[in-house]
Each structure stands twice: as structure tokens, then as C-alpha cells.
Structure 1
């Protein structure tokens, strides 16, 4: 029973984190890639158009994948990269807990990273890679008994 609760908790966590990232990505998309790139350029980010496209892709497409449980480690790393970028480009001067501080961004980035590497069994990753895990497990068992 505890395993089932862990899986549901991971799913709920994935949904909650994805909703926040998705909302920010949708906002950037609605403003336009050029406007987002201009904002990033104003913040001093290198390759602002590439950064804008990457951020929008992670926040929108990554969030859809995160809810579905697809490519979880990749999306988790993407969330961490976007979060660290936001911390250093926007929030760092405000401190951890000041107005506009980086505490929420830090928590979202690290939670996305952590859940990305342990997204639970209610995920497409678990479904798609179950055979591979079973095969690797039987190979290990064979090697141990030989």
C-alpha cells in the first residue's frame, strides 16, 4: 500500500510542479519569442533567442511530458537549468527570502529535479521501460548465481 501512496504522491507532485512551469512558459509564449528574447537580453543572458526558445520548450513541452511521466530525468534537468538561470538572472540580488527572492524558484527547480529522477510508477517512463528493468534484473540474478 505504501508503494501506491508514493506513486500517487509523485504524480501529484509532478502535476503541481508542471502547472507552475507551464503557466510561466505559456506567458512567455503569449508574449512572443522575440519579446522573451528581448527580456532575456536585457537581463544580460547570452544567446537570448536560444535561451528564450529553450526556456519556453522546457516550460511548455517539458511540463506536458512531466505530467505524463515521459522523459522525467531530462525534464527534471531542464527545470533545474531554467530555475538556476532565473535565480542568477533575476532573483539573486533580492536574497533568499526578500521580495522577489529566489526561494520559490529554488524549491521548484530542485523539486522538479528530484521528482524527475524518481517520478513513480504512474508514469509513461515506468510503463515504457519496465521490460528493460526486468531484463536487467534477470541478468543480474543470473550473474549472481553463476
Structure 2
């Protein structure tokens, strides 16, 4: 039976990767020091800005090609949960955290989904055997 779910999953993976890549790139281009200052103003260590930007930038590319999808999606989910709790939660749903919640949901979908089309995860033998046992 033919199903479109793998195509939908590919679309979610691709869009999520582009969004996170662009956010990481923007943090780097606009001066990561500014982001580090913002993180410090939230009570977070400044170096965490570098960590988040790196995960967004590199993780975005990895998600697009489908390498380490579940691991990266967990990291994305953690970043979005942090953004909701630390930054936008007090702003309410509309105009506040609805975007972050959407990215969190997309990330969790990729964590729990097994079907990945056009993904390097499917062709790397060391990773494929780990995914099948999960």
C-alpha cells in the first residue's frame, strides 16, 4: 500500500533543518557576542550561546541530509523547550511561544518517527543497526 507519510516526514525534516540552520547562521552573522550577552541577561552562561548556535547551524545541516536525525531532533527539542521557558513563555501563546512550540512538535515528531526517506541514516550500516534496535 502506498502512503505519503514518508514524504511528509521528509518535508518536516527538510523545513526544520533549514529553519534551525538559518537561525544559527543569523546568530553567527549578527555577532555571536550579542547572543551571548542576551543569554547572560537571562541568567544563562554566555558560552551557551555558542553551543546553541553551533547546534542550530551544524544540526540544521545534519537534519537536512538525514544524519543523526533523532539525536539532533532531541537537541532541537531541548533548545525550543528552553526558549519557551526562558524567553517567550511569559508572552503568551499568540505572539509569544507558538513558533517555538511548532518547532518543538516537529522535532519530537522526528524523534519518535522511524521512517526517514532520503536520509544518510538509512544507508550507514553502523547507524542503521542502532536505529532498528531502538
Normalised by the length of structure 2, the TM-score is: 0.85
CA deviation after TM superposition for structure 1 residue 33, in Å: 2.5
CA contact (8 A) 1:44 1:89 kept: no
CA contact (8 A) 1:74 1:116 kept: yes
Q: Does 1:79 align with 2:76?
A: yes
Normalised by the length of structure 1, the TM-score is: 0.79
CA contact (8 A) 2:28 2:53 kept: yes
CA deviation after TM superposition for structure 1 residue 127, in Å: 1.4
SS at match of 1:62: helix
Distance 1:131 1:80 in 2: 22
SS at match of 2:43: coil
Q: What is the match of residue 16 of structure 2?
A: 17
SS at match of 1:102: helix
SS at match of 1:91: helix
CA deviation after TM superposition for structure 1 residue 132, in Å: 2.6
Q: Alignment RMSD, CA only? A: 2.1
User: Which protein has the larger Cα radius of gyration, Structure 1 or Structure 2?
Assistant: 1
CA contact (8 A) 2:17 2:60 kept: yes
Q: What is the match of residue 132 of structure 1?
A: 129
Between 1:6-15 and 1:58-67, the stretch displaced more is 6-15
CA contact (8 A) 2:121 2:128 kept: no
CA offset digits 1:16-73 (Å, max 9, x no partner):
111111121111011222221111111222x221x11221111110010001000011
Q: What is the match of residue 2 of structure 1?
A: 2
Q: Which runs of 5+ in 1 are unaligned?
A: 137-146
SS at match of 2:93: coil
Q: Which runs of 5+ in 2 are unaligned?
A: none
Which one of the candidate residues 106, 111, 114 is aligned to 2:109?
A: 114
Q: What is the match of residue 26 of structure 1?
A: 25
